[in-house]
Structures are given as structure tokens and as C-alpha cells.
Structure 1
């Protein structure tokens, strides 16, 4: 299996994070990529730098209005007297059908859901290269490789079509799924991050060609709060094509794996031609966010069960923050996935 990654993804270096009203260092630091990349190599993956696909893969998911905003907002922000070092919203519309403002301040509020996605001088370029990693991994799988790992940093699953949030700017998992759709009529996305993949759900909520399934900490008292509840099933043509499996805080291996069984059953009923795994390692018991309690051996079991599907698979890195076991958790997941995936695909052939 290949790990797709470019060092340019590290240039985005957010300094700001507002949590429960208090300013703190942003945990989505470049060192995350160093740890995960070293772990991928330790797991036996081979490195490949993604090609430059330009803006087209992102434009298949995100609105041109939003992409224009991301590309230009930092330069515009620097012209504001006394502006912060990074673009940080201070006002938000109460609905999405209001007027679209001309001001940089107003557009920041319109296109940024919260204060955990500050935009600096290298944010858009890094996010674009992250989307290229997802695109290349998906193209490899579309062309016959069994699986590929897109080491996406910054992550993406909280980004909607026209809205950044939760450390995310471009929705890499959605971009990968759309690339896979070029070769197969149905694609499933399985999100195992600690936090609900609200942006991914939003992108596909009215579509029947992409099944979205998310296992996450119950949002009733946890980010992203407003999405990720069990009664969200999709709308219009997408009704019945979204499944949320919220878990109580501190749920450990057995509870997570029970939810995973339900998730995999739903995916099998959809009969997709390919799978995107939005891989969050922040469900770990020692992750700084402390929402769930999955162990390192638990990640091996999660990978093993997913691999048993035998589907062509794109693994897209989402969350998972700096702690002693971050790299070990990735190795455990990859070892479990690759072993069972090889067996499943061997049986099918």
C-alpha cells in the first residue's frame, strides 16, 4: 500500500484555538503529519508525492464562491487595520439564505463555522495539497490498487460545500469519494473519527449514490453539537443513505466495535464498488480530546473488520492528535486492515 503525502501540507500552521471561550494553542499542528508519516513507513507503506491536480477535484465538491474566498481571504484580511494575524470570524449569519456580504469580515463569518479553522498565509495551499493526496489515492484505487492511504493534513470531514470548520477547509473524504464515482456507480464513506463527519454528511445528504456512515461521540454534548444525531437519515433522493451511530462518552473497544458491526452491515446492504474510510485516530483513550476510549489493539480490530469487506479502499486521514500512541495507533489500524483485506480479496478472486 502507498502513503500519499507532500511536505507542503505542513506549511499551514494555525496558532489560534478557542475552546470553551478560552484561547489555547491549536492542536492541529504540523508535527501530526511527521508522526503519522513515520508511522506509515513503519507499517510498510511506500511513499508517493501527489501530482498537482489544481483546483478541479475540490471544485467537484465545493462551490466556486467558497474556493474563491479561501484563495484570497488572507491577502484581503491583511489590508484591514488592526486585523488579527489569522483570519478568524467574529460574526455569523443566523441562516444561509441571507445576503452575501462584500466585506472580508462578513465573508469570513459566512464561510467559517467556528474559530478552530483560522486561515493563515499558507492555509489554502496546504489544504489544496491535502486534497491532491486524497485525489491521487482515489485514482490509484480506481485504477486497480487494492487500497491507498492519503495522509491528509489539514483534515477535511468538517468542511461543507461552502463552509470551513473544525480544523477543516476542503473535504478530502468527499473529494476522494467523488473521484471514485468516476469508475463505480456507488461509493460508501465510513467515518470512524471521534467527531461526527458533519461536512461529509452535508455534502451527500441529498444523494443516493454515496452512502455516508459515521461512528462518533454523541454530539448532544460534544462537537459538532448540531449534527450527527441518530435521526439524521438524509433528505430527498438521499433519504435512507445516511447513518449516524453516536456513542456515549468514554465508550471503549467493545462498544465501538458493536457500532462498527452495524455500520458494516449497512455498507454491505448498499453494495458499493469502493469504500472511503475517514480515519480518525482521536477515538483513542489517550487522545487529548478525551471523548472515547478505544485502545491501540482496538484500532487493529477496527482495521481488521473493515478489511473483511474486501472493497477497494481509500483511507483518508482525519483527526488524531499528538499523544504518545498516535503513530502506534496508525500502525495497528493498517496492520489489521491489510491482513484481513488481503484474505477477503483472495477469497473473492
Structure 2
């Protein structure tokens, strides 16, 4: 079985993460790659490097204005007298329709939703190759190969068309799904990360050609707070093509699998031929974010359900942070 990884993804090494007013090192660390890679290899996956499909597939999802920002903002930021090594916003517009400033500080606030997505010298390079990893995975699945694992880092599902957030810069799962759609497929995205895939939802919210489904901890009291509620069904042509299944904090294996069965029934009713799985492993009972309580056996059962869909699967890595069971949980799911 094939897995995709580019080592340039290691170069993004965010140092700052603010939560509850406290600044600490970001949990989205390069060391995640080693743990996840070992877990996948133990499940029989062999790693290859992605091909470079260029900027086109990325620009099919993200605006040119936003891509220009990601590519240039760090160099511009370093010219600010006394600026910190990482680009971290301190002011935000009230609405996306507010005026677009020329200032690097103002543009950072416009394009970065929170303090969890600091941009350093190598962020664009790593995000670009993370996206290419997902694109190569999509091309392999489109060619008829199955169970492709794209080890994407930094993750992507909190990134909107022109907005970074929650450790994410380019929306890898959305880029992969659009790549598949343009190749004539009918993709669905199933997000199993503990956090709602708000960027993915936002990208496709007014479209009916890609189904977006997310199972996650209830955002009423959990990140990303403002998105991921059950009443959010899509708008316009996308009405009914977005499906959220928020779960009570601490939900364990049995109730999670019940929600997963409901989610997969919706995927079947959409008539998808390929399932892009936004594979967050932070639903684990051992994950630092402590949103849900899925065990090793629970991840095995998730993998079993995915296999039984009979669909071609592209597994795109999202969250899942350093713990003693992170690699084991990926291993359990991939083996199944």
C-alpha cells in the first residue's frame, strides 16, 4: 500500500501557540511526522515522494491574493522594526468585506484567523509540499489505486479560501477533492478530526458537487466555536450538501461509531465514487486536546467501517498530536 510524504514539510516549525491567554510551543510539531510515518510503515505502507503539480490545483481552491500573501508575508514582516520571528496577527477585520490594507500587519490580521497559525520563513514551502502530497494522492486514487495515505503536514481543514487558522494554511483535503472532481469523479469529504473542518465547510458551502461531512466535538464549547453546528446544511446550490455531526465532549467508541454509520449513509446517498477522509487522530482519548475519547479499538473500528464502504479511499492527514498512542492509533486504522 502506498503513502506519500515530502520531507520539506518538516521545515515549518511553529514556536508560538496561544490558548487561554497562555503562550506555549505549538503542538503542531515536525516530530509528528516521524511518529505517523512509523505507524503507517508498521501497517505495511511504503512511502514515496509527491510529484509537483504546480500551483494550479492549489489556486483552484485558494485565491491568488491569499497565495501571494502566504508566499511573501514573512519577508515583508521581517522588515518591520522589532518584529517577532513569526507572523502572528494582533488585529482582525470585523467582516470579510472590510477594506484590504497594504500593511503587512493588517494583511496578517485579514488572512490569519487566530494565533494558532504563525508563519515563519519556511511555512510556505512546507504548506506547498503538504498540498502536493494530497494532490499526488488524489492522482493515484483517480488512477484506480486504493487506500492511499497522504501524510500532510501542516494540516489543512481549518483553512478557508483566503484564511489560515488552527495550524492550517492550505486546505489539503479540499484541494484533493477538487482535483478529483475535475478529473470526472464525484468525491465526498469525511472529516473525522476532533475539531470541525470549518475551512472545508466554508469552501464548499454554496456548492453541491462535493459533499462535506464532519464528525467532531460539539463546537458550542470547543474550537472552532463559530462553525460545525448541526443546523449548518449549506446554502444555495450547496443546500443539503453539508452535514455536521457534533458530539458531546468525551464521547467514546460506541457512540462515535453510531455517528460514523450515519455519516457514511449520507456519503452513500450522495453517490460518491471516492471518499476523501480528513484523517484527524486527535479524537483519541490520549490526545492533548481531550475533546473525544476514541481508543485504539475505536480507530480499528473506524478503519473497518471505511473499508466496508467499498469506495476508493484517499486518507489525508489532519490533526493528531504527540502522545504515546498516536502512531498506534494510525496503525490500527490503516491495518483495518
Name the TM tier (shorter chain).
over 0.9
Secondary structure, counterpart of 1:181 in structure 2: helix
Partner of 1:343: none
Partner of 1:298: 298
CA contact (8 A) 2:287 2:322 kept: yes
1:147 positional shift: 2.4
| Alpha-carbon displacement from aligned partner over 1:82-127 (angstroms, at most 9, x marks no partner) | 1111000000000011111100000000000000000000000000
Partner of 1:254: 254
Partner of 1:58: 58
| Alpha-carbon displacement from aligned partner over 1:180-233 (angstroms, at most 9, x marks no partner) | 112334210000000000000000001111000000000000000000000000
Secondary structure, counterpart of 1:87 in structure 2: coil
Partner of 1:39: 39
Q: Distance in 2 between matches of 1:192 and 1:184?
A: 25
Partner of 1:216: 216
| Alpha-carbon displacement from aligned partner over 1:240-268 (angstroms, at most 9, x marks no partner) | 00000000000000111010011011001
The reply to whether residue 180 of structure 1 matches residue 180 of structure 2 is yes
CA contact (8 A) 1:184 1:274 kept: no
CA contact (8 A) 1:100 1:107 kept: yes
Alignment of 1:249-328 (within 5 A): 249-328=249-328
Q: Distance in 2 between matches of 1:221 and 1:184?
A: 39
The unaligned stretches of length 5 or more in structure 1 are 337-349
TM-score (norm 1): 0.95
Secondary structure, counterpart of 1:278 in structure 2: strand
Partner of 2:97: 97
Q: Distance in 2 between matches of 1:10 and 1:127?
A: 10
Q: Distance in 2 between matches of 1:225 and 1:246?
A: 11
Partner of 1:226: 226
CA contact (8 A) 1:206 1:234 kept: yes
Secondary structure, counterpart of 1:107 in structure 2: helix
For structure 1, which segment, 52-61 or 72-81, has the greater mean C-alpha deviation from structure 2 after superposition?
A: 52-61
Q: Distance in 1 between matches of 2:98 and 2:84?
A: 26
| Alpha-carbon displacement from aligned partner over 1:44-77 (angstroms, at most 9, x marks no partner) | 0111100122222210100000000000000000
Q: Distance in 1 between matches of 2:211 and 2:197?
A: 13
Secondary structure, counterpart of 1:237 in structure 2: helix
Q: Distance in 1 between matches of 2:119 and 2:261?
A: 38
CA contact (8 A) 1:185 1:209 kept: no
1:175 positional shift: 0.6
Q: Distance in 2 between matches of 1:224 and 1:40?
A: 28
The reply to whether residue 19 of structure 1 matches residue 19 of structure 2 is yes
Secondary structure, counterpart of 1:149 in structure 2: strand
1:332 positional shift: 0.3
Secondary structure, counterpart of 2:182 in structure 1: coil
The unaligned stretches of length 5 or more in structure 2 are none
CA contact (8 A) 1:133 1:152 kept: yes
TM-score (norm 2): 0.99
| Alpha-carbon displacement from aligned partner over 1:280-336 (angstroms, at most 9, x marks no partner) | 000000101011000011000001101111111110000000000000000000011
Q: How many pairs are equivalent? A: 336
Partner of 1:130: 130
CA contact (8 A) 2:185 2:274 kept: no
Q: Distance in 2 between matches of 1:230 and 1:217?
A: 12
Q: Distance in 1 between matches of 2:184 and 2:248?
A: 35
